[in-house]
């Protein structure tokens, strides 16, 4: 069953009798954000994409920073911000953006903007279930403040639908959160407990809105302190709960409800060479790991990855494991965020592509697949199993022949749409850069082998060169390649 999670452009400010600050105070920190964005065109990658505009909410933090959701300002070409009680529009810029946690910090160069504003402060507590919250923002396109209230319904890991590839803690509330609320503060007793960011539109669910908790916000703000966002760290393993008594006994575990099995270790990930499939993780940084994969943290029972969620580039985690019944202590160091991100949505980048003899080659990614009607089992399989089957080892870029711009040079090649590049003149092609280099090497003909048992594509250099300008002119292609994002 797939749940559909939608992103909100919403902000809410609530005034409850018990609140610690007045609505007038909250108004001083709220920001209405209007973004003109240009989304890339993955179908015709040399074309500028469509321009659209959207609105969301933000709020002022100390240091003249405006916090909002990444999705409010993604792919932005122009951002303007307004305050309550000030008719002027100010130009804002993205100073930092974290697409994996859907947060962004904006700056406004005009100092007049911050006159008379007040910064909101973040709580440093996880809110209690059933405690009441107020959501402030500018939902459904309005530019007058809207407030809704509700309670904290649940705190759990949740997929962040901005990147579609990341899960972090999220707080669920029954306060109405609607498009436009995105980026707005959720307050409890005058302090920010979260940033409203997405809702849930299932067939059966009602009154389900989500906010990004302070733990995620604090992590983002800390990560960017050095001026650069390094993203979340990741163990890059799969784990399996150890609930089966026989399995526990065979692994030499007590019947104490502790430990999860390492099911697989992804090559090149943080645990590669440190953990092995079959190891049992007993604790992380001294926190006992329960056999269903939960740990206790700050008095809350949370999913084990939450410990890693709080790590930064360069940090490490101490892991107590049982390997072949022997207890061992190992350290996992986080040197970099996981690099192979084709399954995530990306923003603020230009599509990479290469056009050769009218054949359009593009790396497969979530964004690419959303823009291209490619229905190939091979592409689907390699995309979905890109990490678990370690497809990235051989093919960091999964290069697909996405389209054929008909021309005499390629007139018999239409059937190759959707095929994946394997070799060029015998050389294994791992990246789009390598492909461009292989096609730039002098040769009379380029023999492009696609994955599978099909016949090769043969492109004679003279014919490709003769066709280049003709194809560019006929199809209005500005550049025949873009190799960098």
In DSSP terms, 427 is beta-bridged to 424
Two tokens, residue 5: 């999670």
Helix/strand/coil for 409: helix
Q: How far is the CB of 53 from other proteins (least distance, A)?
A: 36
DSSP state letter for 112: G
**Residue number with CB closer to other proteins (130 or 453):** 453
Cα–Cα distance, 480 to 369 (Å, whole number)? 21
Phi-psi category of residue 421: left, alpha or beta, with phi > 0 → left and psi -120 to 50 → alpha: beta
The residue (of 242 and 270) whose beta carbon lies closer to other proteins is 242
Per-residue DSSP letter, 414: G
Closer to other proteins by Cβ: residue 114 or 240: 240
Which residues are near other proteins by CB under 8 A?
238, 240-247, 249-251, 261-264, 277-278, 377-378, 380-381, 384-385, 388-389, 411-413, 445, 447, 452-456, 458-460, 463
**How far apart are the C-alpha atoms of 213 and 194, rounded to whole Å?**
4
470: which DSSP letter?
Answer: H
Residue 152 CB, nearest approach to other proteins (Å): 29
Instruction: Tell me whether residue 458 or residue 483 sits nearer to other proteins (CB atom).
Output: 458
CB of 464 to other proteins, least distance (A): 10
Nearer to other proteins, 122 or 429 (CB): 429
Identify which of residues 107 and 303 has a Cβ nearer to other proteins in the complex: 303
Residue 333 or 378: which CB sits closer to other proteins?
Answer: 378
In the bound state with other proteins, the residue whose beta carbon lies nearer, of 169 and 404, is 404
SS3 state of residue 9: coil
Structure token pair of residue 240:
């399996």
Q: Are 35 and 78 in contact (CB under 8 A)?
A: yes
Q: Which is nearer to other proteins, 74 or 290 (CB)?
A: 290
Scored b (16 or more CB within 10 A) or e, 80-104 reads bbbbbeeeeebebebebbbbbbbbb
| 89 versus 393: smaller Cβ distance to other proteins | 393
Cβ distance to other proteins smaller for residue 4 or 244:
244
Q: What is the DSSP letter of 268?
A: T
In angstroms, give the least distance from the CB of 44 to other proteins: 26
Give the other-Cβ count within 10 Å of 130's Cβ: 8
Residues 6+ apart with CB under 8 A from 39: 49, 50, 52, 75
Give least dist CB 364 to other proteins, A.
15
Distance in angstroms (rounded) separating the CA atoms of residues 267 and 260: 20
Q: How far is the CB of 397 from other proteins (least distance, A)?
A: 20
- In the complex with other proteins, which residue's Cβ is closer, 244 or 479? 244
**Nearest distance from residue 458's CB to other proteins, in Å?**
4
The CB-of-366 to other proteins minimum distance in angstroms stands at: 16
Distance, CA of 305 to CA of 294 (rounded, Å): 9
- Least Å distance, CB 264 to other proteins, is 5
Distance CA 341, CA 338 (A): 7
Q: Order of strands across the sheet with 427-428? A: 427-428, 421-424, 445-450, 457-460
With respect to other proteins, which residue has the nearer C-beta, 118 or 463?
Answer: 463
- Give the 3-state secondary structure of residue 380: helix
Shortest Å, Cβ 63 to other proteins: 44
DSSP element (H, E) containing 438: helix 432-440
Cα–Cα distance measured from residue 395 to residue 11, given in angstroms and rounded to the nearest whole number: 42
Contact status, residue 294 vs residue 302, Cβ threshold 8 Å: yes
**What CA–CA distance (Å, rounded) separates 397 from 331?**
31
DSSP 3-state percent helix, strand, coil across the chain (nearest 5): 20, 40, 45
| Least distance CB 251 / other proteins (angstroms) | 8
The span from the CA of 272 to the CA of 264, in Å, is 10
Q: CA 436, CA 433: separation in Å to the nearest integer?
A: 5
* Least distance (Å) between residue 384 CB and other proteins: 6
CB 453 to other proteins: min, Å: 4
């Amino acid at each position: 069953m797939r749940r559909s999670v939608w992103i909100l452009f919403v902000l809410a400010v609530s005034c409850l009798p018990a609140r610690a600050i007045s609505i007038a105070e909250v108004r001083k920190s709220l920001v209405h954000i209007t973004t003109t964005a240009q989304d890339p065109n993955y179908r015709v990658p040399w074309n500028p994409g469509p321009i659209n505009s959207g609105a969301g909410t933000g709020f002022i933090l100390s240091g003249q920073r405006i916090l909002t959701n990444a999705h409010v300002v993604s792919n932005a070409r122009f951002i303007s911000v307004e305050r309550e009680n000030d008719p002027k529009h100010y130009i804002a810029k993205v100073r930092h953006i974290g697409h994996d946690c859907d947060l962004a910090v904006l700056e406004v160069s005009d100092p007049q903007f911050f006159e008379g504003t007040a910064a909101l402060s973040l709580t440093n507590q996880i809110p209690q279930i059933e405690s009441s919250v107020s959501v402030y923002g500018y939902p459904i396109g309005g530019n007058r403040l809207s407030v809704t209230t509700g309670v904290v319904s649940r705190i759990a890991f949740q997929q962040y639908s901005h990147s579609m590839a990341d899960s972090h803690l999220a707080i669920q509330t029954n306060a109405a959160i609607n498009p436009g609320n995105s980026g707005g503060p959720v307050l409890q007793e005058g302090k920010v407990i979260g940033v409203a960011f997405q809702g849930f539109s299932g067939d059966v669910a009602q009154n389900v809105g989500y906010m990004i908790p302070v733990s995620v916000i604090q992590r983002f703000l800390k990560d960017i302190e050095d001026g650069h966002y390094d993203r979340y760290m990741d163990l890059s393993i799969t784990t399996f709960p150890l609930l089966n008594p026989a399995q526990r006994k065979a692994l030499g575990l007590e019947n104490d409800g502790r430990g999860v099995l390492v099911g697989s270790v992804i090559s090149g990930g943080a645990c590669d060479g440190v953990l092995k499939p079959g190891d049992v993780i007993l604790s992380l940084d001294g926190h006992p790991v329960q056999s269903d994969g939960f740990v206790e943290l700050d008095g809350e029972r949370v999913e084990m990855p939450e410990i890693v969620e709080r790590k930064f580039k360069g940090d490490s985690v101490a892991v107590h494991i049982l390997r072949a019944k022997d207890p061992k202590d190992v350290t996992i160091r986080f040197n970099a965020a996981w690099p192979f991100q084709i399954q995530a949505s990306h923003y603020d980048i230009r599509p990479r592509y290469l056009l050769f003899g009218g054949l359009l080659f593009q790396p497969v990614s979530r964004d690419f697949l959303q823009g291209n009607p490619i229905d190939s089992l091979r592409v689907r399989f390699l995309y979905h199993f890109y990490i678990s089957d370690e497809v990235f080892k051989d093919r960091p870029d999964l290069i697909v022949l996405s389209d054929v711009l008909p021309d005499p040079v390629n007139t018999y090649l239409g059937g190759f749409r959707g095929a994946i590049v394997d070799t060029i003149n015998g050389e294994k092609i791992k990246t789009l850069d390598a492909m461009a280099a292989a096609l730039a090497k002098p040769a009379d003909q380029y023999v492009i082998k696609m994955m599978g048992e099909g016949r090769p594509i043969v492109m004679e250099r003279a014919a490709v060169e003769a066709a280049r300008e003709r194809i560019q002119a006929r199809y209005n292609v500005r550049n025949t390649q873009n190799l960098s994002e």
